[in-house]
Amino acid sequence: MLDFERDLDELRSRIAELEAESDLDSASDVLRQLELMQLELEARTADVFSRLTPWQRVQLARHRDRPHTLDFIERMIDGFVELHGDRRHGDDMAVVGGVGSLQGRRVVIVGHQKGRGTRQNVERNFGMAHPEGYRKAIRLFQLAARFGLPVITLLDTPGAGPALEDEERGQSWAIAESMAVLARLETPIVVAVIGEGGSGGALAMGVGDRILMLEHAIYSVASPEAAAAIIWRDSKFAERAAEALGLTSEVLYAADLIDRIVPEPPGGAHRDYDATAESLTAALVEALDELQAIPPTELVTERYAKFRAMSAHVESSPDEVVVDGSGVVPEDRHGL
């Protein structure tokens, strides 16, 4: 239970109590009161959720009850067959993937998988993939291209595993290779950030033709704690880092870094898994159908152009700034 959810939850339990006591034969004033309380709950939920701070969004994206990849797969994918292992080292439980069909369309779906509770989270490494997780993903991406299936990736990780064992097995190499494979994969790729889009560990599976993002998901250059450690040298400044990093779906949509915000049910994805899955399914289907019409080689060209255009730089016209080959900045650029 998050702080800003507490009031809403109290109201919700009062409604539940009253509902339990009443039935269809109850006095009309009781039923009327219930109706009013429902309306109040809706209004207050909408109000609270329209004023969420970036840090509250981070908390929602990490909510212990938030639906994770397997919750979505269970609701969206028919006849899902999970495929395990990277065929090199092991089977990383922090990444799940397999084949199945989405509304009659054959797909390969791969996502980060967080756990619920301590035991599951240890097993899933809190959704922080090991190198073998990315190598499993790469194997499935290539399998998709081989059989002409589109790829769906679901991003939900605090970041890639930063432990010694991850370094030993080449975490950087696994992430870079995954991006390089996706960049050239001759099949449609739709990416959806469903929870935490944590840094390179998320982006490793985030190179695609359409980038969707659930309303209260976050996507960040580093987790707020890591950014705080880098910027303020103390992870206690995570809340301030969250404000500064521009990690919400609205900011990223406005910056043209994602293509679409997928709405969540009132109160957030964790309040209604089915409705969230339905909302995401609709967006995925629409994206896949658009992409299916484009020849694979053209997809790759357009994908390159898409990421190639993601930047934040300025360029002075050549007659304004003389580039003398020394790389020295002309005086007038110092005040940039």
Which of 18, 52, 231, 275 touches another protein by CB under 8 A? 231
- Within residues 253-272, the interface with another protein by CB under 8 A covers 255, 257
Which of 60, 252, 277, 284 touches another protein by CB under 8 A? 252
Which of 59, 69, 187, 199 touches another protein by CB under 8 A? 199
- Within residues 149-178, the interface with another protein by CB under 8 A covers 158-160, 162-164, 166-173, 175-177
To the nearest whole angstrom, how small is the minimum distance from the Cβ of residue 161 to another protein?
Answer: 9
Sort 334 into a burial class: Cβ within 10 Å, 0-12 / 13-18 / 19+.
exposed
Question: What separation in angstroms does the CA of 14 have from each of 19, 36, 37, 48, 287?
Answer: 8, 12, 9, 18, 41
- The backbone torsions φ and ψ at residue 193, rounded to the nearest 5 degrees and listed phi first, read -85, 115
Residues that contact another protein, how many (by CB under 8 A): 75
To the nearest whole angstrom, how small is the minimum distance from the Cβ of residue 148 to another protein?
Answer: 20
Tokens of 240: 């301030």
Binding flag, residue 122, another protein (CB under 8 A): no
To the nearest whole angstrom, how small is the minimum distance from the Cβ of residue 259 to another protein?
Answer: 13
The partner residues of 218 in beta bridges, in order of sequence, read 196, 248
- Within residues 82-121, the interface with another protein by CB under 8 A covers none
Residue 27 region by backbone torsions, left for phi larger than 0, else alpha for psi between -120 and 50, else beta:
beta
To the nearest whole angstrom, how small is the minimum distance from the Cβ of residue 2 to another protein?
Answer: 21
Q: Which is nearer to another protein, 182 or 269 (CB)?
A: 182
Which region among 19-27, 54-62, 67-75, 238-246 touches another protein (by CB under 8 A)?
238-246
DSSP 248: B
Angle CA 210–211–214, to nearest 5: 135
Q: Which is nearer to another protein, 163 or 282 (CB)?
A: 163
Q: In angstroms, rounded to a whole number, what is the distance separating the alpha carbons of residues 186 and 179?
A: 14
* Single-letter amino acid, residue 103: Q
Q: Which is nearer to another protein, 13 or 316 (CB)?
A: 316
Q: In angstroms, rounded to a whole number, what is the distance separating the alpha carbons of residues 213 and 209?
A: 13
Tokens of 281: 């399914």
Question: What separation in angstroms does the CA of 75 have from each of 212, 220, 280?
Answer: 18, 27, 10
Q: In angstroms, rounded to a whole number, what is the distance separating the alpha carbons of residues 205 and 210?
A: 12
Which of 221, 275, 285, 294 touches another protein by CB under 8 A? 221
Q: Which is nearer to another protein, 4 or 307 (CB)?
A: 307
Q: Binding string to another protein for residues 18 to 57, with x set by CB under 8 A, is what?
A: ----------------------------------------
To the nearest whole angstrom, how small is the minimum distance from the Cβ of residue 86 to another protein?
Answer: 15
Q: Which is nearer to another protein, 8 or 181 (CB)?
A: 181
- The backbone torsions φ and ψ at residue 79, rounded to the nearest 5 degrees and listed phi first, read 55, 40
DSSP 263: P
- Within residues 277-336, the interface with another protein by CB under 8 A covers 303-304, 307-308, 310-316, 318, 320-321, 323-329, 333-336
Residues with Cβ within 8 Å of 66's Cβ and at least 6 positions away in sequence, in order, are 60, 195, 268, 269, 270
To the nearest whole angstrom, how small is the minimum distance from the Cβ of residue 321 to another protein?
Answer: 5
Tokens of 81: 């067959």
To the nearest whole angstrom, how small is the minimum distance from the Cβ of residue 300 to another protein?
Answer: 9
Which of 203, 261, 262, 287 touches another protein by CB under 8 A? 203
